[in-house]
A and B are shown apart, each in its own frame.
Chain A
């Protein structure tokens, strides 16, 4: 199993540009999450999904959108990038016997 994979690893955007951060998991987990982590700070929940077709807002959803058309994929969309969205973005999924949460390697996004 590859676990949770994210692309791209790094990206630089100009203010106002749009992009989609990709997240895929091959563990057949129902629950998936997007977090952002600013330098030296904790993990803030952006959006989460409890299954295909179902998404919900987390703590900091403004400026982002998500979709969950399949169990495997949970892309995060930034429509009008702003410098405040400069951060490291982690995707995660939860499942298995003990409901452990697995994280992807992260995407480092800089908005200039």
Chain B
């Protein structure tokens, strides 16, 4: 199956700062790259995704960038707010949808 590495494992920022989480993958055939947010005690929810035919996608304060040559993609959150505090997971799915290990983001007010 696909190997997905995610960094950092924990990230603490001040409210209003930006946060960046990076994932690398191994299978060059991967063409779909989602990001999920999981709040405490809840199920993971898709927040943004990108396909291999574009290099960047934005949705309000969140964006995802993709570098297919280097096989990495990143989640960018700008103007962070306390409600952004959660665990974030990336995936580079093939048939078996495997996730990165997760990043615990804490936004301090």
Contacts and interface: CB of A to CB of B under 8 A. Distances in A.
Contacts of B102: 41-43
B99 A42 contact: yes
Interface of A: 31, 33, 35, 41-43, 45, 48, 50, 56, 58-59, 90, 92, 94, 98-101, 103-106
Interface stretch (B15-23, B67-75, B76-84, B89-97): B89-97
Nearest to A103: B43
A99 B32 contact: yes
B43 A42 contact: no
B89 A42 contact: yes
Interface of B: 1, 32, 34, 43-46, 49, 89, 91, 93, 95-102
Contacts of A33: 96-97
Given A98-B49, A100-B34, A101-B34, A45 B97 contact: yes
Contact of B96 (A41, A48, A90, A98): A48
Contacts of A45: 1, 96-99
Main secondary structure of the interface of A (DSSP, over half): strand
Contacts of B95: 31, 48, 50, 56
A103 B45 CA distance: 7
Contacts of B98: 45, 58-59
A101 B100 contact: no
A99 to B, nearest CB: 6
Nearest to B101: A42
A90 B97 contact: no
B89 A101 contact: no
B49 to A, nearest CB: 7
Contacts of A35: 99
B96 A100 contact: no
A90 to B, nearest CB: 6
A100 B34 CA distance: 8
A101 B49 CA distance: 11
Given A43-B44, A43-B89, A100-B46, A59 B1 contact: yes
Given A43-B89, A59-B1, A101-B46, A92 B97 contact: yes
